[in-house]
Structure 1
Amino acid sequence: MAKTTHIAVISIPAFSHQVSIVEFCKRLVHLHHHFHVTCIFPTIGAPLPATLTLLESLPSNINYTFLPPVNKQDLPQDVPSAVQIQLAVSLSMPSFQHALEFLLSTTSLEALIADPFANEALEIAKEFNILSYIYFPPSAMTLSVFLHLPALHQQISCEYRDHKEAIKIPGCVPVQGRDLSEHFQDRSSLDYKLILERCKRLSLAHGFLVNSFSKIEEDSERALQVHSRVNNSSNNSRVYLIGPIIHTGSSNEPKGSECLRWLESQKANSVLYVSFGSGGTLSQQQLNELAFGLELSGEKFLWAVRAPSDSADGAYVVASSDDPLQFLPNGFLERTKGRGFVVPSWAPQTQILGHVSTGGFLTHCGWNSALESIVLGVPMVTWPLFAEQRLNAVLLAEGLKVALRPKFNENGIAEREEIAKVVKGLMVGEEGEMIRGRIEKLRDAAAEALEEDGSSTRALYQFGTQMESFVGHS
């Protein structure tokens, strides 16, 4: 019988990252039965209720601990949520070090797996002489961009959004500077300083576990393998595409039952699902334009609507308690009754995307949502808001060609006529039909990647065996 292999995993205080890393841990211990994982969570204030629900169903060989909370009032209030999260993680590093010391003294801890936004932990792992890896929740293309940021920083002197030519990164779709990650867009900002430090620190990792699969990112995977061998300080550094890892949620979500019942009465592929993820928010002006655009399109829709905010990630750390329905245009609900269904704040996303009536998904392009749409074969309208979502939109619309991307005006607003045109194009247009055919092929490829002999299952198995062989020779 194989001896137990202990692994520590650290995430960040953002549910989209936590859910991805927990689902990864479940898959890891399912494939490697003798692995035991301890998940370590920095927190801002109390743990997120959704996180506590997520942790209720862990198998016996995964346990977890919350680090002492960082007080939100101790963080700068005038910075984006992403910066607050990164600063909170940095403040939690002494507590993390104590947690790692405890695990080292009580178990045969052999490796650490860190979220890329908690990669100070790689330096601590190096001090303790244990193997360290990055679990990368976004795409392989995004990882490639992150790994190349230090070089881009030297090569391009202006703001990336002002750079005239497309930026070419090995293995990736050419990207306009304005479509690079939100964190890159202001070189004088604390956000940029933090992300540049984190990108430089990635070279400390012994390998990267990426939530993607070979069929959709073959070129990026190949380029990453080359980059990793040439540039990483850790010998034998490898890149493993081990996705798609998605969270299916509970099958008996009471809050979702009403909208699911409504879907039951609709025709196949007739409904556009509209959602901006666990934290995305629109301004009041954009909320109005989206409502009028959906109305103007004449198509059926199911919209998980959130209260507006001037910050695109306004609900990422703390959600508004306001009733979002009061912010919709006057008479909108009455005029679209029967054709549209509006859900306040939250909806059971994977159940909706998996429903036969759902024919399209207007999404903020968070990678979790993009993968769910691919796994369930639903064509997309891309509406990126923050983080690396514009990169994802480029990959989905221009690389994989499984999405349509609306045009935004000079003020950054998608106007109602444009929204209506794109929605109709996806739901009933010829281009939408071609997109549906392509994404159904990717759906099948995603399922194949996760089969017993699929590319992602093989990659995750190789990660476990190679990690143990490194431990054996260290």
Structure 2
Amino acid sequence: MEKKRCIAMVPCPGQGHLIPFVEFGKTLVHHHNNLHLSFLIPTLGPPTPSIMAILNSLPPNIDFIILPHINIQDLPQNLHPGIHMKLTVTHSLPFLHHALTSLNTTTHLLALILDVFSADALPLAKQFNIPSYFFFTSGALTLSFCLSFPKLDDTVSSQFIDSTKIVNVPGSIIPFQVKDLVDLVLYERSSEIYKTYLGLCQQLYFVDGIIVNSFTDMEAEAIRVLQEKTTFLDGPSVYPVGPIIGTGSTSKEKQVECIEWLNKQPPKSVLYICFGSGGTITEDNLNEIAFGLELSGHKFVWVLRAPNNSASSSYLMGQMEDPLRYLPSGFLERTKEQGLVVPSWAPQIEILSHGSTGGFLSHCGWNSTLESVVHSVPMIAWPLFAEQRMNAIVLTDVLKVAVRAKVDDESSGIVKHEEIVRVIKIIMEGEEALQIRNRIKSLSDAALVALSEHGSSIRALHILAHKFQNI
């Protein structure tokens, strides 16, 4: 009996990385059902019930193995989430090797697809004599910056001392200040964090291809630069297959609560506020948002997480404390007819796709950005960490489908409630709101075309699958 033709996929910890991996896998086997996928999943602990529900609902030709948990006590404390994810995978390499050995005896292994933060597993591809790919969970412009960063580090690294210096990223029609780049470059050049990020960027050149979760109409120039090979002469092939987003929630209880509330609201009247799967804001900013929402008079659904001075404090480890106790006194009572506050988590896809939702105050994580674009929801950009500032600038200055909430003082990072009222009114009221809505609707239509039978992203997926199957 002929062995199954299998692709091994290694995501890294973090819901924002695992879910797009899963959705990419589902898309791939939907169009090429002769392929079999196996997810080999490094973890810091038992997966959450929501993650297990997603994994247990995978189609028959996708299976998964939860690798033995890494003890968080074995890792250095207070790490940047990216470094945390990378080290989790590094500590999982013996388990990963064992899982691949087992797969190799029962299937015909075609390829190894890794998250960028799973890059330490790259030598395993050579060991098993299979091609390697990265699935890049951010956008094409961020990928372009990562590919160019080793050269920037070699030639003009002194510019990273001054965070206001200008950097031209290949494929961008606007320049960036250093302070708006991926936050890992802002550390001292001698630090382990900076060196680790530089190493990850260098490893992008050692794979057979990079699959990027974007599409031509959203990042045309960046994708052109990545694919033409004139800027990155020795770079890998790039396959833009997006937008790949989640398909919906598995938590019916919260879904029912949110949807029932939204069903009672007028069309396009509700502002949705969420800082991703783990982003946190300071207590000062939490209070300013509360006062701003109340003063704006607009309807809202607010996914509330307990405040923290570290924006990424909840990215890999959830919070236990009750976030509602941090709200201003009397806020819930005064706004009970105006809004809905949901502790910690809400069914984002269902909220963004609902006809009553008219705006999204977002941290500009790439998954949330794509979800907002697909569902035609204008954004208020409030970036926190990682590449989110780059995303925010593209959304506001290039695509013009978002407005930026400006901080009152760079050193404090506080956005005053008057500013929050201002940006809410821009995207929810009047002529400018209509123009932004029209632009994001056009982008949403283009996303639909990219994923159609003959669209650019599905063509890229077919080319990729053809390479897999002709090995």
Same fold? TM cut 0.5: yes
What's the counterpart of residue 270 of structure 1?
Answer: 269
What's the counterpart of residue 305 of structure 1?
Answer: 304
The superposition leaves residues 320-348 of structure 1 with CA deviations (integer Å, 9 ceiling, x where unpaired) of 11111111011111222211211111111
Q: Determine if contact 2:54/2:250 at 8 Å carries over to the other structure.
A: no
C-alpha separation between the residues in 2 aligned to 1:50 and 1:83?
24
Q: Determine if contact 1:228/1:239 at 8 Å carries over to the other structure.
A: no
Residues 129 and 252 of structure 1, relative CA distance in 2, 3 Å threshold: closer
C-alpha separation between the residues in 2 aligned to 1:368 and 1:284?
25
Q: Determine if contact 1:15/1:48 at 8 Å carries over to the other structure.
A: no
Query: Post-superposition shift, 1:4?
Result: 4.0
Q: Does 1:69 align with 2:78?
A: no
What's the counterpart of residue 222 of structure 1?
Answer: 224
Q: Does 1:212 align with 2:214?
A: yes
What's the counterpart of residue 125 of structure 1?
Answer: 125
Question: In the alignment, residue 213 of structure 2 is paired with which amino acid?
Answer: N
What's the counterpart of residue 189 of structure 1?
Answer: 191
C-alpha separation between the residues in 1 aligned to 2:191 and 2:229?
28
C-alpha separation between the residues in 2 aligned to 1:347 and 1:251?
11
Question: In the alignment, residue 281 of structure 2 is paired with which amino acid?
Answer: L
Structure 1 segments unaligned to the other structure (5+ residues): none
Q: 1:453-468, aligned counterparts within 5 Å?
A: 453-468=454-469
RMSD of aligned Cα (Å): 1.8
What secondary structure sits across from 1:23 in the alignment?
Answer: helix
What's the counterpart of residue 445 of structure 1?
Answer: 446
Q: Does 1:372 align with 2:374?
A: no
The superposition leaves residues 32-81 of structure 1 with CA deviations (integer Å, 9 ceiling, x where unpaired) of 11101110100102223322111011111111111111101111113233
What secondary structure sits across from 1:44 in the alignment?
Answer: coil
The superposition leaves residues 343-378 of structure 1 with CA deviations (integer Å, 9 ceiling, x where unpaired) of 111111111111111100000111111101000000
What's the counterpart of residue 418 of structure 2?
Answer: 417
Dislocated runs of 4+, deviation >6 Å: none
Query: Post-superposition shift, 1:229?
Result: 8.6
What secondary structure sits across from 2:315 in the alignment?
Answer: coil
What's the counterpart of residue 18 of structure 2?
Answer: 18
What secondary structure sits across from 1:394 in the alignment?
Answer: helix
The superposition leaves residues 251-272 of structure 1 with CA deviations (integer Å, 9 ceiling, x where unpaired) of 7721121221121111111110
Q: Determine if contact 1:366/1:392 at 8 Å carries over to the other structure.
A: yes
Query: 438-447 or 71-80, which moves further after superposition?
Result: 71-80
What's the counterpart of residue 361 of structure 1?
Answer: 360
What's the counterpart of residue 343 of structure 1?
Answer: 342
Identical columns (%): 48
Query: Post-superposition shift, 1:231?
Result: 3.6
Query: Post-superposition shift, 1:108?
Result: 1.1
Q: 1:44-63, aligned counterparts within 5 Å?
A: 44-63=44-63
Residues 113 and 278 of structure 1, relative CA distance in 2, 3 Å threshold: same
Q: Determine if contact 1:246/1:371 at 8 Å carries over to the other structure.
A: yes
Q: 1:252-267, aligned counterparts within 5 Å?
A: 253-267=252-266
C-alpha separation between the residues in 1 aligned to 2:158 and 2:209?
32
C-alpha separation between the residues in 1 aligned to 2:127 and 2:377?
46
- TM-score scaled by structure 1? 0.95
What secondary structure sits across from 2:211 in the alignment?
Answer: strand
- TM-score scaled by structure 2? 0.95
Structure 2 segments unaligned to the other structure (5+ residues): none
The count of aligned residue pairs is 467
Query: Post-superposition shift, 1:161?
Result: 6.8
Query: 373-382 or 292-301, which moves further after superposition?
Result: 292-301
Q: Determine if contact 1:161/1:176 at 8 Å carries over to the other structure.
A: no
